[in-house]
Amino acid sequence: MRKSIAAAALVLTACATTSGSPKAHDVQFLSEAPSECRLISNVAGDYHAPQGSTFYTTDERALKDLAQDDLLEEAANKGATHVVLLQATVGGVGASANAQATGVAYKCPPGWMAASK
């Protein structure tokens, strides 16, 4: 029982540390550059498995998501409201897991919404 509780706490802690700030949750991905919005800058995010950690994922989608969360954090810190994701790659899995994401950050007018296609 005690081991189950400790394992559950570890999983919850790991999930909580990758959720990003409230500002980053307000940044949205777009599929193409919006002409109505102001270009801010290129942004990048990365994820590297903590050295010596025994808790890691081999799921490439999850690794890309962690790198994209970091990218959204950078975009939010620069005042962006939207990001066009250019690339997300995984360079390793398991204990040497790492992933990178690159994109372009934009600031769109309040209330602006991307046209649906």
Residue pLDDT, tens place only, 9-66: 333 333 334 456 777 888 999 999 999 999 999 999 999 877 766 666 678 898 899 9
Q: What is the pLDDT of residue 115?
A: 67
Number of independent structural domains in the chain:
1
Give domain status of residue 115, yes or no.
Answer: no
pTM, two decimals, is 0.74
End-to-end CA distance of the chain: 52
Does 113 fall in a domain? no
Distance from C-alpha of 105 to C-alpha of 99, rounded to nearest angstrom? 19
Mean pLDDT, range 82-102, rounded to an integer:
89
C-alpha to C-alpha distance for 74 and 85, rounded to whole angstroms? 13
Provide the pLDDT for residue 15.
39
The reported pLDDT for the residue numbered 7 is: 36
pLDDT at position 54 is 62
Helices (H), the chain: 2-16, 22-25, 60-77
Range of the domain at 26: 2-107
Q: Whole-angstrom Cα distance, residue 14 to residue 53?
A: 11
Residue 117 falls within a domain, yes or no?
no
- Tell me whether residue 90 is in a domain: yes
Confidence at residue 38, expressed as pLDDT on a 0 to 100 scale: 96
| Residue 94 DSSP class | G
**Mean pLDDT, residues 66-94:** 93
